[in-house]
Amino acid sequence: MSGNSASKLFSKFATAVSGLSGKPVTFVLALGLVLVWAVTGPFFRFSETWQLVINTSTTIITFLMVFVLQNSQNRDGKALQAKLDELILTSQAQNKFVGIEKLDEESLRKMSKTLAEKAEGVEDVADEKAAERGQSSAQVLSFPPGAPER
Query: What is the average pLDDT value for the chain, to the nearest integer?
Result: 85
User: Which amino acid does the sequence have at 34?
Assistant: V
pLDDT digits (tens, 9 = 90+) for 12-65: 898 899 889 989 999 999 999 999 999 999 999 999 999 999 999 999 999 999
pLDDT digits (tens, 9 = 90+) for 127-144: 888 888 876 655 655 655
Residue-wise DSSP of 7-55: HHHHHHHHHHHHHHHTSHHHHHHHHHHHHHHHHTTGGGTT-HHHHHHHH
Q: How far apart are CA 69 and CA 56, in angstroms?
A: 20
Are 101 and 81 in contact by the 8 Å Cβ rule? The answer is yes
Structural domain boundaries in the chain: 3-101, 103-140
pLDDT of residue 150: 46
Burial of 96 (0-12, 13-18, 19+ CB in 10 A): exposed
pLDDT of residue 41: 95
pLDDT of residue 136: 62
Q: Look at residue 144 and give its three-state secondary structure.
A: coil
DSSP-derived letter for residue 145 is T
DSSP-derived letter for residue 99 is T
Are 40 and 50 in contact by the 8 Å Cβ rule? The answer is yes
* Whether pLDDT at 93 is above 70: yes
pLDDT of residue 137: 55
